[in-house]
Amino acid sequence: MIDASRIYALKIFQQVIRRRKPLSSAIIESGGYQIASKADSAFAERIVKTALKRLGQIDQILGECLAQPLPKKARVAQDVLRLGAAQILFMEVPDHAAVHTSVQLFHAEGEGRYAKLINAILRRLTREGCSWINAQDETRLNTPDWLWHSWSKVYGIQTCREIASAHLKEAPIDISVKANPKKWAIRLGGQVLNTNTVRLEGSQAITNLEGYNEGSWWVQDVAANIVSGLIGDVRGKRIIDLCAAPGGKTAALASAGAIVTAIDSSATRLQRLRENLTRLQLKAHVIEADAKSWRPIELADAVLLDAPCTGTGIIRRHPDIAHCKTASDVMELMVIQETLLVAAVELVKPGGIILYSTCSLQPEEGLMQIERAKKNELPIRPLPFTKNHLLGMSEMLTSTGTFLSLPSYLPKQGHMDGFFACRFEKL
Ligand SMILES: C[S@@+](CC[C@H](N)C(=O)[O-])C[C@H]1O[C@@H](n2cnc3c(N)ncnc32)[C@H](O)[C@@H]1O
């Protein structure tokens, strides 16, 4: 019997690598749970994430094992080899199981005469692989060229290496709690990171954890939690969350006492937002609309624009981003972000606040949007953050008063997502 988890792993891996589909969509569209049990699916997703995180290293090693590159039509063989190598070199899968299931997988899914080659190469990796990976420059190899060049230019080579190194680590689970972080840290065996975030180690089934069904907390990286708090005191204020789904920041705002209108153009993502709010017993006025043209009856006290972006700050949690996004996506998104910022300004009353954020490390999607807003002569002025806004995390305050978290931060606690945020006041 062919192993269900490996079939599922190959299917979703191919969607990401061959079709540049986000891993989350590949998982949903693959109907994985019909192929594999819940435990098998979780294992398959771990194989795929490991292969995506370590693809640069894996491809270099496989390249050395092959006398000549595999022909284009041997894609299945190449991907079976990559997934097999991920298990042998970077996971605690017994060698014989990784080799045997890979050959079986190729027999079931592939064509041609590569089964023997796959068997021989993977066996070789079980013997020599460890010494090869020890000699590799893992941070450089696993980072696409365009990101490496961009980050070394913007942040310096040392920080670029630290960012790339953080991406290879297993990300912990961060939860934003409605109240009593200390109590939840004790109950769930985690640690309190900031006012609302409790960090849990290891991979755990979220829905089985205490407090999930009662809606006491939701999953959100500490960086996203800090960003939600940067609007300031929102109690009783009317806030428009302009790109809201799946709703991590909507929940934070509603939980802090804001009257929230949550806008998003994606019906499927809004469905998740509604489910999250229902579980958390939080309220928001949810509207499916294009933020570029939607207008409220009454102007808001503040708008949060957590704009669509490349997501290069969250590669640690979403390694598919490193393989799906390109430099031209940055250029496309930059224009969308600029248009959305123009729309956001129109929704706020004079004296109101606009908080702009992205989970990107690319300056085009962050700092440069302030320049663009100036160039567009928007009726706003930058309102710098101060140390008080960051409550003990002042390394995230830049010299220009914007917020910038890097994945290399909090190394002792398990790192954090990369986020940019800045604040404006409407004139
Ligand atoms: C970065 S995500 C938002 C994450 C969300 N703020 C949270 O904390 O959970 C960006 C969102 O923008 C939405 N979006 C993209 N273009 C949009 C548009 N023109 N109008 C409204 N929403 C849009 C996407 O559907 C996506 O859900």
The verdict on the CB of residue 318 being under 6 Å from ligand 1 is no
Q: How do residues 291-315 score in pLDDT, each as one tens digit?
A: 999 999 999 999 999 999 999 999 9
- Ligand 1 centre to CA of 179 (Å) is 26
Instruction: Tell me the C-alpha distance between 254 and 239, whole Å.
Output: 9
Q: Give the pLDDT score at 338.
A: 98
- Ligand 1 centre to CA of 263 (Å) is 8
Over residues 132-145, mean pLDDT: 98
The residue nearest atom 27 of ligand 1, judged by CA position, is: 245
Amino acid letter at 21?
K
- Ligand 1 centre to CA of 228 (Å) is 14
Helices in 66-191 by DSSP H: which ranges? 75-90, 95-109, 115-134, 138-141, 145-155, 157-167, 181-188
Which superfamily is assigned to 4-136 in CATH? Answer: NusB-like (1.10.940.10)
- Ligand 1 centre to CA of 385 (Å) is 24
36 has pLDDT over 80: no
Q: How do residues 55-72 score in pLDDT, each as one tens digit?
A: 999 999 999 999 899 999
Helices in 294-366 by DSSP H: which ranges? 321-324, 327-346
The verdict on the CB of residue 290 being under 6 Å from ligand 1 is yes
Q: How do residues 379-397 score in pLDDT, each as one tens digit?
A: 999 999 998 888 778 899 9
Q: Give the pLDDT score at 34.
A: 64
What is the Cα Rg of the chain in Å? 23
Is the alpha carbon torsion for 137, 142, 145, 147 positive or negative?
negative
The verdict on the CB of residue 306 being under 6 Å from ligand 1 is yes
Which residue has 């010494």 as its token pair?
131
Q: Minimum mean pLDDT among 102-111, 145-154, 184-193, 240-249: which range?
A: 102-111
The residue nearest atom 2 of ligand 1, judged by CA position, is: 308
- Ligand 1 centre to CA of 246 (Å) is 8
Question: Who contacts 160 (Cβ-Cβ below 8 Å, separation ≥6)?
Answer: 143, 148, 151, 152
- Mean residue pLDDT across the chain: 95
Instruction: Tell me the C-alpha distance between 200 and 205, whole Å.
Output: 12
The verdict on the CB of residue 269 being under 6 Å from ligand 1 is yes
Question: Who contacts 387 (Cβ-Cβ below 8 Å, separation ≥6)?
Answer: 394, 397
Q: Give the pLDDT score at 111.
A: 81
Residue 399 backbone dihedrals phi, psi, to 5 degrees: -65, -20
pTM for the model? 0.95
**Burial status of residue 353 (CB atoms within 10 A of its CB: 0-12, 13-18, 19 or more):** buried
Question: Who contacts 122 (Cβ-Cβ below 8 Å, separation ≥6)?
Answer: 81, 84, 85, 88, 98, 99, 102, 103
Q: Give the pLDDT score at 393.
A: 80
- Quickly state the pLDDT bin for 194 (edges 50, 70, 90): confident
Q: How do residues 253-265 score in pLDDT, each as one tens digit?
A: 999 999 999 999 9
Percentage with pLDDT > 90 across the chain:
90
Instruction: Tell me the C-alpha distance between 293 and 296, whole Å.
Output: 10
Atom number in ligand 1 closest to CA 306? 6
32 has pLDDT over 70: no
125 has pLDDT over 70: yes
Over residues 363-374, mean pLDDT: 98
| Cα 346 to Cα 231, 291, 300, 427, distances in angstroms | 17, 11, 10, 11
User: Could you tell me if 224 and 248 are in contact, meaning their C-beta atoms sit under 8 angstroms apart?
Assistant: yes
| Cα 294 to Cα 210, 283, 289, 335, 424, distances in angstroms | 39, 21, 6, 18, 21
- Quickly state the pLDDT bin for 8 (edges 50, 70, 90): very high
Atom number in ligand 1 closest to CA 245? 27
Atom number in ligand 1 closest to CA 340? 19
- Quickly state the pLDDT bin for 2 (edges 50, 70, 90): confident
The verdict on the CB of residue 169 being under 6 Å from ligand 1 is no
Give the CATH fold of the 224-426 domain: Rossmann fold (3.40.50)
Domain ranges of the chain: 4-136, 224-426
Instruction: Tell me the C-alpha distance between 111 and 81, whole Å.
Output: 14
Instruction: Tell me the C-alpha distance between 8 and 52, whole Å.
Output: 15
Best residue among 25, 265, 288 to mutate for probing ligand 1, ranked by most atoms within 8 Å of CB: 265
The verdict on the CB of residue 263 being under 6 Å from ligand 1 is yes
Best residue among 261, 264, 288, 293 to mutate for probing ligand 1, ranked by most atoms within 8 Å of CB: 264
- Quickly state the pLDDT bin for 33 (edges 50, 70, 90): low
Assign 3-class secondary structure to 245-265: CCCHHHHHHHHCCCEEEEEEC
| Cα 272 to Cα 20, 277, 278, distances in angstroms | 23, 9, 10
Q: How do residues 210-220 score in pLDDT, each as one tens digit?
A: 999 999 999 99
| The two structure tokens encoding residue 130 | 């460890």
User: Could you tell me if 237 and 259 are in contact, meaning their C-beta atoms sit under 8 angstroms apart?
Assistant: yes
Q: Give the pLDDT score at 218.
A: 98
Neighbours of 130 (CB within 10 A): 11
- Quickly state the pLDDT bin for 133 (edges 50, 70, 90): very high
Q: Give the pLDDT score at 45.
A: 94
246 has pLDDT over 90: yes
